[in-house]
């Protein structure tokens, strides 16, 4: 049994987008605030802080998670992926990101980090999604700018492009 | 908002979790997937002094299918149950209701027992449990007991669980293929304005409604048709004591109970 006192900060070690990182957190610190304020990874956005809007969606050990409904101390030893891990290089967008840009799938961009993470996770497991499946997945996110249609379009385009790339044996997402 | 301060306990065995719960009682809360509790903590609707994390207890992460029932441990996530290959044959009502529980992004973390513990009146899993007549397995220091679904849900977000009790598992009766589920919500995955389930019984049908009264509520009826069914549904719709709120009026909720009810009861009695 491990007991972490509320009055202290505790060391949390984890892997962020393939790199080992660590920081200190009180038990009550949310993963959103830990990532943004302690680690300095501000790509993950904070919206509603009760799991509804989806802006803070990331993956923990390969599964989708709301960072605002996760405690920093819970991810000790876990592998996290955030939006910072999507681009193949600092000056290059990934296939999904580029499709978002082409289709105007974002305006203010507040919801985008979470939506990209959900879609990236989903497309890895479902290379040929239907529009209905994409819309069902997007029901876990709120976007107040786009009306969702360009996001769906971008997701379907990215899926088609990724399928093409995997046929020509590129592995770069 | 941010949670108030608490000690965080990562239990390695069920005994440890029970022991810490016995020490702190109502000042402690069990956290599993956290998809309901973390929101309560963030809004400070819950302010436990100690949070006991049970997600490292492998013994709770299991689905046991025996003749007549399926027992789902407190560590089983909703996504894991949805991906269970026997779900459609063993628990057909759950295979219909579970895709409506939250979103893919919350089912990946949220547990089946956690949703039952939270007891939101419009949640799908409590409704399914009441419709099927399942039971909760509760454990405290030196004591175990089972509580039937209808006794477990005591009010809005209130249950028969004592402060020192942990929900160890839930059992759903298995098999009944003649069942139906339908929900109306503003957005797929949101909490239901009205959710209904119907299950064929030996003598007729059990019809259960969530999202209207403080607890999911069921009625057992013989084989009803035509105006007898309409009268039964109308009486039930009024007994549920629907209220107006920001999502829908009481009258709209009663309408939904009558309309969905007629469809579902007919469907399972065919």
Residues of A in contact with B12 (CB under 8 A): 1-2
Residue A24 has pLDDT above 60, yes or no: yes
Q: Name the domain boundary from B53, B75, B90.
A: B53
CATH number at B11 reads 3.30.43.10
Q: Does B223 fall in a domain? A: yes
- Residue pLDDT, tens place only, A49-86: 999 999 999 999 999 999 999 999 999 999 999 999 99
Which residues of B are less than 8 Å from A68 in CB distance?
38, 42
Residue range A107-117, pLDDT digits in tens: 999 999 999 99
Q: Are residues B43 and B70 in the same domain?
A: no
Q: Are A5 and B7 an interchain contact pair (Cβ–Cβ within 8 Å)?
A: yes
DSSP A39: I
Residue B52 has pLDDT above 60, yes or no: yes
pLDDT at residue B110, as a whole number: 98
Q: How confident is the model at residue B187 (pLDDT cuts 50, 70, 90)?
A: confident
In the CATH scheme, what is the code of domain A95-167? 1.10.150.120
- All CATH 1.10.150.120 domain ranges of chain A, comma separated, are 95-167
Query: With contacts defined as CB-CB under 8 Å, which chain B residues touch A136?
Result: 104, 188
Average pLDDT, chain A: 96
- Distance, in angstroms, between A139 CA and closest chain B CA? 6
Q: Report the domain count for chain B.
A: 3
Average pLDDT score, chain B:
96
CB contact under 8 A, B105 and A2: no
Residues in chain A with CB shorter than 8 Å from the CB of B79 are 63
- In this structure, which long-range contacts are made by residues B161-164, counting pairs with CB atoms below 8 Å and at least 24 apart in sequence? B161/B117, B161/B136, B162/B138, B163/B25, B163/B26, B163/B28, B164/B21, B164/B22, B164/B25, B164/B140
The CATH class given to the A10-85 domain equals: alpha beta
| Domain end point (choices B140, B173, B206) | B173
| In a shared domain, residues B184 and B169 | no
Among the partner residues A49, A68, A74, nearest to B53 by beta-carbon distance: A74
Cα(B86)–Cα(B65) distance, integer angstroms: 9
Q: Looking at the domain assignment, is residue B2 inside a domain?
A: no
User: Can you give the pLDDT at residue B189?
Assistant: 78
Q: What pLDDT digit, counting tens, does each position of B124-164 carry?
A: 999 999 999 999 999 999 899 999 999 999 999 999 999 99
Q: What is the ipTM of this complex?
A: 0.94
- pLDDT band at A172; cut points 50, 70, 90: low
User: Is the Cβ pair A1, B10 closer than 8 Å?
Assistant: yes
Domain membership flag for residue B1: no
Both B65 and B169 in one domain: the answer is yes
Residue the block writes with tokens 């399926």: B70
Chain B CB contacts of A71 below 8 Å: 8, 34, 38
Please say if the pLDDT value at position A171 is more than 70: no
| B149/B249 same-domain check | no
Look up the domain containing B129 and give its range: 61-173
Could you tell me the sign of the dihedral formed by the alpha carbons of B39, B44, B45, B47, in that order?
Answer: positive
One domain, residues B127 and B111: yes
Where in chain A is CATH 3.10.20.30?
10-85
Asked if the Cβ–Cβ distance from B106 to A7 is below 8 Å, we say no
Mean pLDDT of B75-100: 97
Which residues, 6+ apart, have CB-to-CB distance to A69 below 8 Å? A50, A51, B34, B35, B38, B39, B42, B106, B109
């Amino acid at each position: 049994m491990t007991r972490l006192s509320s009055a202290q900060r505790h060391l949390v070690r984890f892997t962020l987008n393939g790199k080992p990182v660590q920081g200190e957190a009180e038990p009550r610190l949310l993963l959103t605030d830990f990532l943004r304020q302690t680690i300095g990874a501000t790509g993950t956005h904070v919206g509603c802080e009760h799991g509804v809007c989806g802006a803070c969606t990331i993956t923990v050990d390969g599964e989708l998670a709301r960072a605002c409904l996760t405690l920093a101390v819970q991810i000790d030893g876990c592998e996290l992926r955030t939006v910072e891990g999507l681009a193949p290089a600092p000056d290059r967008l990934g296939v999904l990101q580029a499709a978002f840009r082409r289709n105007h799938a974002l305006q203010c961009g507040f919801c985008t980090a979470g939506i990209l993470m959900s879609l990236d996770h989903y497309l890895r497991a479902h290379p040929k999604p239907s529009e209905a499946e994409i819309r069902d997945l997007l029901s876990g996110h709120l976007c107040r700018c786009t009306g969702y249609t360009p996001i769906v379009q971008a997701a379907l385009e990215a899926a088609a492009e990724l399928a093409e790339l995997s046929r020509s044996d590129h592995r770069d997402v | 908002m941010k949670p108030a301060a608490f000690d965080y306990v990562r239990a390695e065995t069920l005994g440890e979790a029970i022991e810490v719960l016995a020490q702190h009682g109502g000042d402690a809360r069990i956290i599993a997937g956290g998809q309901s509790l973390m929101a309560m903590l963030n809004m400070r609707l819950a302010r436990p002094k100690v949070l006991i994390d049970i997600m490292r207890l492998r013994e709770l992460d299991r689905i046991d299918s025996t003749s007549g029932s399926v027992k789902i441990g407190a560590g089983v996530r909703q996504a894991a149950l949805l991906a269970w290959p026997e779900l459609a044959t063993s628990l057909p009502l759950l295979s219909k209701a579970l895709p409506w529980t939250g979103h893919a992004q919350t089912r990946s973390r949220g547990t089946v027992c956690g949703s039952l513990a939270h007891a939101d009146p419009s949640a799908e899993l409590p409704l399914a449990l009441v419709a099927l007549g399942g039971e909760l397995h509760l454990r405290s220091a030196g004591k175990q007991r089972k509580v039937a679904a209808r006794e477990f849900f005591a009010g809005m977000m209130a249950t028969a669980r004592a402060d020192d009790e942990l929900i160890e598992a839930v059992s759903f009766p298995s098999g009944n293929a003649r069942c139906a589920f339908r929900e109306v919500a503003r957005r797929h995955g949101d909490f239901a304005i009205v959710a209904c389930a119907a299950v064929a019984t030996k003598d007729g049908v059990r019809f259960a409604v969530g999202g209207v009264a403080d607890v999911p509520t069921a009625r057992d009826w013989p084989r009803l048709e035509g105006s007898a069914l309409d009268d039964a549904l109308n009486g039930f719709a009024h007994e549920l004591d629907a209220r107006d709120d920001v999502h829908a009026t009481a009258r709209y909720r009663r309408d939904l109970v009558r309309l969905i009810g007629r469809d579902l009861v007919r469907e399972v009695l065919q």
